[in-house]
């Protein structure tokens, strides 16, 4: 089993916890402030992706840190080191904002920061990547982390949920976008289709037989395909899209099914679907 271990270290107030949170979203099992000696659990665990936060509270000397790295190498466990920092001015500002104590507890906060910078300089040189968070927002960190770890296909990290529903039963409360397809021809008024639903080929064929349906679907697909990367760029992890018709049985179901299949074919995103009124027993 190939194990991925990421060591996240750096300056106190630099943003280490935020980086660990992002790694957790990337399916890493995260441990913050792991004491020296605890790294031995890596020799036996079945976890494949692990991120460990280590800072100046964890070790008393550079040798302590090097002993952890040496132990991993001896067990042939590969690892990468991400060093997180910020300027002295920004770290000072962050500490004043949070009113937390610096772990070194020197006579002044500035002296504590400067002592830590000097102490961590050797570890910084060992890092596979350094991230300066001074002027970054949390959403800006993920691409930098992925670049260091050489992670590809970042867009797969968004979960897209497509949901059909009926307006007569109310709007879903958990959707980000809602599209109304009640303007399309309604199979309900065709006697042979009334009892069927949007999962049935006859209903799908009827809906698609109208040029307006095909035109609208193409515009809808293009619009959603445009929006998804914009949401990803903003750091959004979940996108829920509702498509509604009168009863949530024919048109909305057919459109959700078609959109689901086409987005899955792209092989870029995690896509799920559900039909609310079917689940609620409304048809």
Please report, in range form, the residues annotated as the binding site.
Answer: 10-17, 55-58
- Please state the residue numbers annotated as binding site for GTP: 55-58
Q: Which has the closest alpha carbon to 151: 23, 16, 15, 18? A: 23
DSSP states of 249-278 as a string?
Answer: SSHHHHHHHHHHHHHHHHTSSEEEEEEHHH
Length of the chain: 283
What is the C-alpha separation between 125 and 145, in angstroms, rounded?
17
- Please state the residue numbers annotated as binding site for ATP: 10-17
Report CA-CA distances (Å) from 189 to 15, 146, 161, 192: 59, 52, 29, 9
């Amino acid at each position: 089993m190939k194990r991925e271990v990421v060591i996240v270290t750096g300056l106190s107030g630099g943003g280490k916890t935020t980086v660990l949170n992002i790694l957790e979203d990337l399916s890493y099992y995260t441990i913050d402030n792991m004491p020296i000696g605890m790294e031995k659990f890596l020799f036996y665990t079945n976890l494949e992706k692990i991120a460990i936060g280590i800072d100046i509270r964890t070790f008393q000397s550079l040798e302590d840190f090097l002993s952890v790295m040496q132990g991993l190498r001896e067990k042939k466990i590969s690892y990468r080191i991400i060093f997180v920092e910020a300027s002295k001015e920004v770290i000072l500002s962050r500490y004043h904002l949070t009113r937390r104590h610096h772990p070194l507890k020197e006579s002044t906060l500035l002296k504590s920061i400067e002592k830590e910078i000097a102490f961590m300089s050797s570890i910084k040189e060992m890092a596979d990547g350094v991230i300066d968070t001074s002027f970054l927002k949390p959403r800006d960190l993920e691409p930098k982390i992925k670049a260091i770890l050489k992670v590809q296909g970042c867009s797969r990290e968004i979960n897209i949920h497509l949901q059909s529903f009926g307006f007569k039963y109310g709007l879903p409360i958990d959707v980000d976008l809602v599209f109304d397809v009640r303007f399309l021809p309604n199979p309900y008024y065709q006697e042979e289709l009334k009892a069927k639903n949007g999962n049935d080929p006859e209903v799908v064929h009827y809906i698609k037989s109208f040029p307006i349906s095909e035109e609208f679907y193409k515009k809808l697909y293009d619009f959603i395909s445009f929006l998804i990367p914009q949401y990803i760029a903003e750091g959004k992890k979940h996108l829920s899209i509702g498509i509604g018709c009168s009863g949530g049985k024919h048109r909305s179901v057919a459109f959700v099914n078609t959109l689901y299949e086409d987005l899955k074919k792209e092989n870029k995103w995690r896509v799920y679907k559900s039909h609310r009124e079917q689940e609620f027993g409304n048809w």
